[in-house]
Structure 1
Amino acid sequence: MEGNESLISAMKERGFTQTELAERVNDHLIRAGHEGTVSDRTVRNWVTGRTRWPHPRQREALEAVFGYRAEKLGFRPSARRRPSNSPEDPVDRRNFLAAASGTTASVVAPFGGAPPQVGTSDVIRLRQGLDALMEVDRSRGGHEGLERAALSGAEEALAKQRLGATQRIRQRLFSVAADYTATAAWSAIDARRMDRASQLLGRALYLAGMARDPVAEMRVWNSYAMLAHHREEFAEAVDAGYAAQETAIARRAPLFASLAHARTAIGNANLGDGRAALRSMGYAQDALSKANASEPAPSWMAFYGPAELMAMTAIVRDRIGDAVESEAASHRALAAIPKEFKRNRALATTRLALAQLHQRDVDQACSTAATVFTLMSGHPIPGRMRSLLGDYYRDLITLAPDARVAREWGDRYRTEWSRL
């Protein structure tokens, strides 16, 4: 017996399990004033082809759920149908007989009153749009255009979520909306729009909770840690790092655990607790060594791996006063950060310049810092990078206020600062 491939395909498109399809058909039957008697077994008979032409009420409900004629869903009446012995509503029976005689097509016509349906293909398309935004972020960094595009994606995901297909699809669309909103929040952080970022992260955390998505939740806590870092709220940054560690995905997947521990390490370093910072960094390195590189990861996590961990190690080492190890870690990071991650390479280069400056190697530090402008050529410098370059300049004029190379670098810095 051949299965009903058309129905199977339609169910996959909508994201229906057999149980969920039975529930949707029963919902329609009940709204129409009938009993909802469709079971998993009923649907299984449709899927396997055992039932080739469902009861008229069931066909009408199926057409309402999918928006297709029963024939398009793979159902076919037998050549010679025996009269049904089951009791029918008189109106339904008249409609069925009229349709069979060709006097009306009202029963088998496409259901015009059904709301648009959303399914797996909508989720996939929205995810692809999110991946495209991540590509923009990797090269250019956060900016208002990226934030607007991300919020537009979130709005579309929520609009489709309200249409509903199944509970599973609705949750997946909440997850997509959470990721788009978190992307907008991250863009605001990178652009140094901290109040806006805080507002968006609160919204993203709510959506992640509605989606029951631990990956989206982990992403939000990671961003909260970064937001607190840039606000110099270092105790809050540590707390956010711990919250990230407690998410289900961090407890289950070493890659996510590593990132959560690394964020905690930076927070502890900023608090001046070098021992705790190095302990957390050790946990991060150990977790990353256990991560399976072949396992799929969301596009927002593409930045994280051995190279980024080295870049974060450079931050920790510099903050606890170990500039030599910070420089070494920066070199290792730059040797491994992919070229398409221009913003991340520029940030790591600035960290390298800071480590060299803190060793009083002023000429080399200024030469290194100048390459940041070359790396970001053609793109505006994101606010977060401007802030880090500002930190470098303040340290430069503090440590070498009269050096010619410091004055020359300052002139270049002011010129680049005004570049749009």
Structure 2
Amino acid sequence: MADTSVSRLARLRHAAGYTQESFVTAFAREAAHLGVDASVSVRQLRRWERENPPPLPHPSQQTVLEAMFGVPLTEMGFDVPAHRVTVSAPISDPEEVKRRTFVADAGALAAAALVPARPGPRIGAADIARLRARLDGLYQMDHTAGSVPAMTQAHRIEDEITGALGAASYTGRIGRELQTMLAELHGHRAWYGYDGGRIDQGRAACMEALAAAQLVDNPLLQVSVLETLVLLAIKADRAWEAASAVENAYRLATRAGAGHTVHLVIALRDANVATHTGDLSGARRALSRAVSHQGHADTDAEVPNWAQFVGPFEVDYATADMYVRAEQPRRAVPFLRAAVRGIGGDLARNSASYRVKLAGVLLDAGEVDEACAEMSAVLAVCGGISSPRLLGKIREFQRSAAKVDSAAARECGECIREAVRGGTT
């Protein structure tokens, strides 16, 4: 049986994992996110939890409390006057219209739209924070361990979010957060499709992500999906789709007032499309825009998680790709070397991928010994990365090296066979 000596508000706080002190901090943070001028002290919280009935919170405090716990104020143990109860009612009775406000306060409506009206767990701000931390952790997992384990974790998070959306009770604001995270997860799955060579699955995930991002009217999230769609469309040899995705990304970024870093990502995807189609003049123009945006990226006040991977090394890599497409591998080499030096160790999967690319270009440039030394260095460090795309690049190098009559190339080929057989990637 529940301890009736503990107030409903205290039980909600305990269930959300807050101490009284941490609740006060979380309350201030949530008020800032909501744009509400509201605060609470530990002393006031103790009065709310101790007194019966507790003192009624101010309307602004009510908005924050309902957003944090995902329940109306009445369910927290407060005696709430009728005009402050956050529910809607029919207005067909003309007598009723005379005795109440025509509609509830817009802020109250946003906080009180509980979904659905059936038994289920309550989802509040603390639950959202925990899901958000796990979702953000997918970036690090993908970069360090590869897309295969990240995909497994993404499916677990997706099941939890869709379960909450379908069976839990939550406010309208919490529901929007859940839908936004679901759109992000679809975007992650699109990338995993690209990394795993499952192009059709990746494109399908892109379509789901775009629809979900449109439903929550999040243009920057749509941009993040479109930049992945560019890569998938290029792999599917759908250059027109990739070019359309770039144009839409530019439009959405302008609408959202995006900073230089987001525009840098789009410019790089623009260069990807131009390089793929052999439009080297277009690639140079896109790369010039990328260089300009990179030079101003430090002025961005905020950068979305999905754009934080980008940096000068991406510009160097895209420039090298242009020279490879122009069949000038020797001109590509210094840009690839700069990219490998600049990417850093925290992006392990991409770092290994860059080095494999460098090894392949060195081989094309006739620098066989250096190419094989670079590949051997990759094999020594990529054992914990599970990425089908990286493995495919390594095997592509293996096939190219097999055509070279060189002791170093033969030895390197044997090392790759041993690594692949041992499950290195």
TM exceeding 0.5: yes
Tell me the distance in 1 between the aligned counterparts of 2:170 and 2:392.
Answer: 46
Are residue 11 (structure 1) and residue 63 (structure 2) matched? yes
Tell me the distance in 1 between the aligned counterparts of 2:190 and 2:294.
Answer: 26
Are residue 226 (structure 1) and residue 226 (structure 2) matched? no
Query: 1:15–1:120: 8 Å Cα contact kept in structure 2?
Result: yes
Q: Percent identity?
A: 23
Instruction: Using structure 1 for the length normalisation, give the TM-score.
Output: 0.72
Gaps of 5+ in 2: 1-37, 46-56, 74-81
Aligned to 2:100: 37
Deviations 1:21-65 (A, max 9, x none): 99993535559x976935899899xx9xxxxxxxxxxxxxx9x98
Aligned to 1:378: 384
Give 1:83-102 correspondences, 5 Å limit.
none
Q: 415, 419, 425: which is aligned to 1:416?
A: 419
Q: 152, 156, 176: which is aligned to 1:152?
A: 156
Aligned to 1:283: 289
CA RMSD of aligned residues (A): 3.5
**How many correspondences in the alignment?**
349
Seen in structure 2, the aligned counterparts of structure 1 residues 408 and 158 have a Cα distance that, compared at 3 Å, is same
Query: 2:264–2:289: 8 Å Cα contact kept in structure 1?
Result: yes
Tell me the distance in 2 between the aligned counterparts of 1:411 and 1:283.
Answer: 43
Tell me the distance in 2 between the aligned counterparts of 1:351 and 1:157.
Answer: 38
Aligned to 2:407: 404
Seen in structure 2, the aligned counterparts of structure 1 residues 374 and 24 have a Cα distance that, compared at 3 Å, is farther
Aligned to 2:243: 238
Letter in 1 for 2:364: H
Aligned to 1:304: 310
Query: 1:142–1:189: 8 Å Cα contact kept in structure 2?
Result: no
Letter in 1 for 2:223: M
Are residue 265 (structure 1) and residue 271 (structure 2) matched? yes
Q: Give, in angstroms, the shift of residue 173 of structure 1.
A: 1.9
Seen in structure 2, the aligned counterparts of structure 1 residues 41 and 415 have a Cα distance that, compared at 3 Å, is closer
Tell me the distance in 2 between the aligned counterparts of 1:39 and 1:324.
Answer: 73
Seen in structure 2, the aligned counterparts of structure 1 residues 24 and 122 have a Cα distance that, compared at 3 Å, is farther
Letter in 1 for 2:247: Y
Deviations 1:365-390 (A, max 9, x none): 1111221111202333x111122223
Gaps of 5+ in 1: 48-61, 67-111
Q: Give, in angstroms, the shift of residue 164 of structure 1.
A: 5.8
Tell me the distance in 1 between the aligned counterparts of 2:102 and 2:366.
Answer: 76
Give 1:184-203 correspondences, 5 Å limit.
184-203=189-208
Letter in 2 for 1:147: M
Aligned to 2:21: none
Give 1:314-393 correspondences, 5 Å limit.
314-380=320-386, 382-393=387-398
Letter in 1 for 2:100: T
Question: Per the alignment, in what secondary structure is the counterpart of residue 126 of structure 1?
Answer: helix
Tell me the distance in 1 between the aligned counterparts of 2:87 and 2:391.
Answer: 57
Seen in structure 2, the aligned counterparts of structure 1 residues 150 and 113 have a Cα distance that, compared at 3 Å, is closer
Q: 15, 22, 27: which is aligned to 2:87?
A: 27
Instruction: Using structure 2 for the length normalisation, give the TM-score.
Output: 0.71
Tell me the distance in 1 between the aligned counterparts of 2:83 and 2:379.
Answer: 59
